[in-house]
Amino acid sequence: MYILVTNDDGIDSPALMPLKQALDQVAETVVFAPDRNWSAAGHPKTMHKPLRADLRKLPDGSQGFCSSGAPSDCVALAHLGVVERKLDLVVSGINMGANLGYDVFYSGTVAAAVEGVVNGIPAIAVSINSFEPTDYRGPANFAARLVQYVARHGLPADLFLNVNFPAVPWDDVKGVAITRLGRRVYRDELVSRLDPRERSYYWIGGEPLGGVPDIGTDIWAVANGYVSVTPVYLDMTAYHFREDLRRWDIQLS
Ligand code: MN
């Protein structure tokens, strides 16, 4: 198996190499990561400017690709031929900060996994519920173990696995929970200030993220010390609402 390892925190993230080195134990890997942090940058497809992808010597002595593009661009560039070998799997992470519930719409970590799936490559997004550097060996080894399950069972088309780790020592992790996406609560607040020329500028600020910890959700699992594994399907059609919508009897004019 040949795995593309990427992330959205950038190639220098302390959480990237532990993941790569754990995956090296079960497969061949190539790192193809952004040159800077793209957290919460979503899913760009950069089409209006050139992209760079330069070889870079990684801390373990291997060669990886460092790109000026977004995480989704990294996967696209690799898939389209910058990496000259067929990719069997995309693993994105380990992200510093959980990607739970609606986070999947903002996350560059998840976007990289989605870009894999869109291109027919199975994918796993991996995040930990801490913004502080920590010991990533347990989570990284679990990711490698999960890759072996994927190799054995395969993954259906049009879905990826969204994995989130609780921020507890590995020995305190309670188990693995197969979950659904929960309901994130963003306590965003508008911070409005004036620049030296008396023109307004804004920050999106506010309290740390919350969430509704309904049992069975990813938010619940991580809050209760479980590794959350959510199969996320790219077909977001609200099948249950189609009949209601037909009854609106929407006319052309
Ligand atoms: Mn990030």
Q: What is the pLDDT of residue 205?
A: 84
Q: How far is the CA of 74 from the centre of ligand 1 (A)?
A: 15
**CA–centroid distance, residue 20 to ligand 1 (Å):** 16
Give me ligand 1 centre to Cα 156, in Å: 26
Q: How far is ligand 1, taken at its centre, from the CA of residue 110, in Å?
A: 9
Separation of CA 27 and ligand 1 centre (Å): 24
Domain topology for 2-183+212-248: Stationary-phase Survival Protein Sure Homolog; Chain: A, (3.40.1210)
pLDDT at position 61 is 97
Domain boundaries, the chain: 2-183+212-248
pLDDT score of 208: 78
10-residue averages of pLDDT along the chain (253 residues): 98 98 98 96 94 97 97 98 98 97 97 98 98 97 98 97 97 98 92 96 87 94 98 97 98 96
Query: Ligand 1 center to residue 107 CA distance, Å?
Result: 7
- 243 C-alpha to ligand 1 centroid (Å): 39
Residue 164 Cα to ligand 1 midpoint, Å, equals 13
Q: Quote the ligand 1 centre to 90 CA distance (angstroms).
A: 16
- Convert the chain into a string of H (helix), E (strand) and C (coil): CEEEEECCCCCCCCCHHHHHHHHCCCCEEEEEEECCCCCCCCCCCCCCCCCCEEEEECCCCCEEEEECCCHHHHHHHHHHHHCCCCCCEEEEEEEECCCCHHHHHCCHHHHHHHHHHHCCCCEEEEEECCCCCCCCHHHHHHHHHHHHHHHHHCCCCCEEEEEEECCCCHHHCCEEEECECCEEECCEEEEEEECCCCCEEEEEEECCCEEECCCCEHHHHHHCCEEEEEEEECCCCCHHHHHHHHHCCCCCC
Distance (angstroms) between ligand 1 centre and the Cα of 157 equals 25
